[in-house]
Amino acid sequence: MAYWNKDIECAPRSEIEALQSYRLSNTIRRVYENVAPYRKKMDEAGVKPEDIKTVADLSKLPFTTKQDLRNNYPYGMFAVPSSEVVRIHASSGTTGKQTVVGYTAKDIDIWAECAARALCNIGGSKDDYVHVAYGYGLFTGGLGMHYGAEKLGATAIPASAGNSMRQLEMFRDFGSSIVCMTPSYAISLIEIMEEKGFKKEDFKLKAGLFGAEPWTEEMRKQIEEGLGIKAYDIYGLSEIMGPSVSCECEYQCGMHICEDHFIAEIIDPDTLEVLPAGSQGELVFTCITKEALPLIRYRTRDIATLVYDKCECGRTHVRMLKPQGRTDDMLIIRGVNVFPSQIESALLSVDEKATNYLLVVDRVNNLDTLEIQLETRPDMFGDGVKTLEAYQKKVKSAIDSAIGVGINVKLLEPKTLARSMGKAVRVIDNRQIKNKFEKK
C-alpha cells in the first residue's frame, strides 16, 4: 500500500483532532485580524478568537455562504494582501457574478499535496503519465490536478478538455496511465473510441479520477469497462480549494477528506445544528491552513454523510459519501455549476414577458441534458415557423452564453405549464445519483 504522506494520512484520530484544534485556533486569530467581514460576523455573534481553542468550539462560529463571497466580490474575503496572492480561480455565481478565490504560494503547494495524495490513493506514482482532461483556466479542475501530478513526480499531460480525437491519440501515443476528467466526458470519449475504431487495449490506462459533477455507479461500471481502468470519485470546490478536498482510495467506499487541512461538519440545513456522526445533512468545511481565503464553516449546500469507521486502506481520515443532492437550487450540468436564476435573467433579457418557464434536467445516455420549456404567446407568434425558430435561437444563445452549457429550448402551447398557488416549481431534475456504499 502506497501512501503519499503516511504519518498524516494514517494518524490516530486523537492526533488528527489535536492538529485540527491547533490549526483552527491559529486560523481564527488570523481571520479575525485580517478579514473585516469575519471580524464583523464574529463580533455580532459575540465570539472572540480566544474562545476558539479546540474543534469542539467550532460550533460557536458563524457560517459562511456563497452570498458572503458575493457581497465581498471580488477580493473582500481575502486574508492576505494582494502581494501574497499568486493565483485566482473563479466559478459561476447565482447572478452571473463569479465567485472569486485566491491562493498564496503556500496554498498552491498544499493543494498540490492534496492532489498528489489523491493520485497516490488510486495507485499513482512518479512512473505514471497523468492525463489531465479537465479544463485549464478559471475552473480549478485542470491546474489543480496538474500541480498534483507534478508534485507526485509523475509526468503531467495538460490535455485540457475538448478535441476528443486528439485526446484518444494522446492516450495511445503518450502512454497516458491515469486520467482526470469529468465522468460525462469519459463516457463521451468511450463512444467516440467505438466510432473511430480505438480499442481499450490500444491504451495503457489503469485508473482515473472523475469528479466535478454527480455520477452514478452505472457510469462507474461503464467507464471501468470502456477504458479498462478502475474509476475513482474525487471531490472539491473552489471556495475551499478545488479538486482533491477529498478522494476515494482503492476500496471505493467514500472519499477521504484531507482532514489536516479541512474540518468537515454535517449540519441540519434548516436548524443549522451540527448533526451526530453518520447523519445525512449539509456538508460544511472550515479551512485550517489556507492563507489567502480561509473560509470558516463554509456551507457547501451539498448533502452528504460522513463515515468515521476505519477504512481498510489504513487511512484514518474521515470519508464522505457521494453527495446526494443540494440544499440550494444549484444544478451541476456536465460539470458546470448552473443556477436557475442565471437562466431566468438571461431569458428575461431577451423576452421580458417570458415569466412562466420550466427547466427539465435529465441524463440521456449518461450525458446531462438541460431543457427550458416556454409557453407560446400570440404576440411572439407570426404565422410561420421562422418567427418561432428565430425566437428559440435567440433564447438559446442568450442562455448558452450566460451559463456556458448548451440548453434545448422547447415551445409549448399556452397554459401547458402548471400554475402553482405558492412557490412555482421551476426545475425538474430527473437524474438519480446513488451511492454504491448505500446499497451494501
Partner 1 sequence: MLIDQISVFVENKTGRLAELMEVLNKNGIDIRAMTIADTADFGILRLIVDDTEKALKALHDDGCTAAVTKVIAFTIPDVSGALYNVMGKINECNINVEYMYSVMGKTEGRADIVIRVEDTDTAIKVLTENGVQLICGKDLCR
Residues lying near partner 1 in the complex (CB under 8 A): 376-378, 381-386, 388-389, 410-416
How far apart CA 31 and CA 50 sit, in angstroms, is 12
Q: How far is the CB of 395 from partner 1 (least distance, A)?
A: 14
Q: Which is nearer to partner 1, 48 or 410 (CB)?
A: 410
Nearer to partner 1, 96 or 414 (CB): 414
Residue 255 or 372 having the CB closest to partner 1: 372
CB of residue 184 vs partner 1: minimum separation in angstroms?
23
How far is Cα 56 from Cα 262, in angstroms, rounded to an integer?
Answer: 15
Place of cell 445516455: 365
* Strand pairing class (129-132; 367-375): unpaired
Could you tell me the smallest distance in angstroms from the CB atom of residue 417 to partner 1? Answer: 12
**Cβ closer to partner 1: 377 or 394?**
377
In the complex with partner 1, the residue whose CB is nearer, 255 or 409, is 409
**Shortest reach from residue 415's CB to partner 1, in Å:** 5
Residue 339 neighbours by CB under 8 Å, 6+ apart: 92, 93, 94, 95, 329, 330, 331
Least distance in angstroms from the C-beta of 382 to partner 1: 7
Looking at beta carbons only, is 308 or 381 nearer to partner 1? 381
Tell me, what DSSP letter sits at residue 325? -
- Residue 413 C-beta: closest distance to partner 1, Å: 5
How far is it, in rounded angstroms, from Cα 193 to Cα 187? 10
- Amino acid letter for position 96: G
Q: Closest CB to partner 1 among 388 and 424?
A: 388
Report in angstroms how near the CB of residue 372 gets to partner 1 at its nearest: 12
Provide the 8-state DSSP code for 371: E
Give dist(CA 222, CA 215) in Å, integer: 11
User: How far are the Cα atoms of 42, 46, 368 from residue 26, in angstroms, in the given order?
Assistant: 15, 18, 43
Backbone angles phi, psi at 205, to 5 degrees: -60, 140
Q: Pick from 309, 272, 304: which is nearest to 64 by CA?
A: 272
Kindly tell me which of 353 and 439 has the beta carbon lying closer to partner 1: 353
Q: How far is the CB of 389 from partner 1 (least distance, A)?
A: 7
CA atoms lying within 13 Å on the CB side of residue 346: 26
Return phi, psi of residue 91, to 5°: -135, 170
Other C-beta atoms lying within 10 Å of the C-beta of residue 26: 15
